[in-house]
């Protein structure tokens, strides 16, 4: 993504979590807002209430450009797509390939691992070659072979971060439904603020993947881990990696984080 990705991320106000001083979410809404927190934290939106804290004009332009949503009908179409399809199946094989490379690293003796890192970094991809059919992965994910190679090569650093900070082993993240579920919540919040749907309809739309999320993960930390994986598979850059890891670590560490006050189950 180059310079535009760098500039775009530099404009994000996400050095800390943002909170509404007058939160008014019901318990049901609060759970859903917490589910959406990985994207809210990344964007600099409020993480404790349905209202985002952003100007409506900025939201309107953003979701029109990124999502193609500009009225109720287009919102309903996109929300239905996220519930029924999204990108979780599209990215499943690629996530499994990244996990296979990580397994190749973890099952290599530390001395051999150090030698390979210094002299033959491609060793681990060769070791996991049965899971790295770039042509097939590209056809399914929509990524080019150079994009896939960059993503797989870079994955070692951020998968290690998922293990270290989020206590999430790749094998524990069976699917990437969080990537779709988190975005569904945010899209529903924006739709409320822009008047595409009523506030009373928020939970019905935003909760379309709640059951699947609670079945797929053990806690909020795993939700963040799966969302990070989905976000980096969707569009990798070192800037996105840095922002996603940092903002999701804030959700784990900030004493006021909804991750601390809202039970996952």
The two tokens of residue 265 are 């189950």
Q: Is residue 120 pLDDT above 70, yes or no?
A: no
The answer to whether the CB of 78 falls within 8 A of the CB of 68 is yes
Q: Nearest to residue 226, comparing CAs of 212, 206, 208, 207? A: 212
Burial of residue 16, with CB atoms counted within 10 A of its CB: 0-12 exposed, 13-18 middle, 19 or more buried: exposed
Of the pLDDT bands very low, low, confident and very high (cuts 50, 70, 90), residue 151 is: very high
User: Is the C-alpha dihedral spanning 243, 245, 248, 253 positive or negative?
Assistant: negative
User: What is the DSSP code (8-state) at residue 173?
Assistant: -
Q: What pLDDT, in 10s, does the model give residues 12-65? A: 889 999 999 999 999 999 999 999 999 999 999 999 999 999 999 999 999 999
Question: For residues 26, 249, 241 and 174, what is the CA-based torsion angle, rounded to 10 degrees?
Answer: -70
The answer to whether the CB of 124 falls within 8 A of the CB of 104 is yes
Q: Is the pTM of this model over 0.75?
A: yes
Q: What pLDDT, in 10s, does the model give residues 225-260? A: 999 999 999 999 999 999 999 999 999 999 999 999
CB atoms within 10 A of CB 261: 11
CA angle 53, 262, 219 (to 5 degrees): 115
Give the whole-number percent of the chain exceeding pLDDT 70. Answer: 94
Q: Quickly count helices (H) and strands (E) in the chain.
A: 16, 0
Instruction: Give the residue, 3 or 217, on which the prediction is more confident.
Output: 217
Average pLDDT in the chain? 91
Q: Is residue 264 pLDDT above 70, yes or no?
A: yes
Burial of residue 67, with CB atoms counted within 10 A of its CB: 0-12 exposed, 13-18 middle, 19 or more buried: middle
| DSSP output for 112-163 | HHHHHHHH-TTHHHHHTGGG--HHHHHHHH---HHHHHHHHHHHHHHHHHHH
The answer to whether the CB of 178 falls within 8 A of the CB of 226 is yes
Note the pLDDT of residue 251: 98
Of the pLDDT bands very low, low, confident and very high (cuts 50, 70, 90), residue 205 is: very high
Q: How many residues comprise the chain? A: 265
């Amino acid at each position: 993504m180059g310079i535009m990705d760098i500039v775009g991320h530099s404009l994000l106000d996400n050095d800390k979590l943002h909170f509404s001083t007058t939160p008014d979410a019901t318990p049901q809404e609060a759970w859903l807002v917490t589910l959406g927190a990985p994207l809210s934290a990344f964007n600099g939106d409020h993480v404790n209430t349905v209202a985002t804290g952003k100007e409506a004009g900025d939201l309107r332009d953003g979701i029109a450009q990124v999502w193609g949503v500009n009225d109720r009908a287009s919102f309903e179409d996109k929300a239905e797509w996220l519930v029924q399809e999204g990108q979780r199946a599209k990215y499943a094989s690629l996530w499994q390939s990244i996990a296979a490379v990580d397994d190749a690293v973890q099952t290599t003796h530390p001395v051999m691992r150090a030698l390979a890192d210094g002299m033959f970094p491609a060793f681990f991809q060769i070791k996991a070659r049965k899971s790295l059919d770039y042509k097939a992965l590209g056809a399914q994910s929509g990524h080019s072979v150079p994009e896939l190679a960059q993503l797989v090569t870079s994955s070692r650093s951020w998968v290690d971060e998922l293990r270290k900070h989020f206590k999430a082993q790749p094998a524990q993240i069976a699917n990437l439904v969080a990537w779709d579920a988190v975005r569904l919540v945010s899209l529903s919040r924006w739709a409320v603020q822009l008047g595409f749907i009523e506030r009373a309809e928020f939970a019905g739309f935003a909760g379309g993947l709640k059951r699947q999320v609670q079945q797929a993960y053990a806690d909020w930390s795993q939700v963040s881990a799966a969302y990070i994986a989905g976000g980096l598979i969707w569009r990798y850059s070192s800037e996105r990696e840095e922002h996603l890891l940092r903002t999701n670590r804030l959700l784990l560490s900030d004493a006021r984080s909804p991750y601390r006050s809202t039970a996952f189950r």
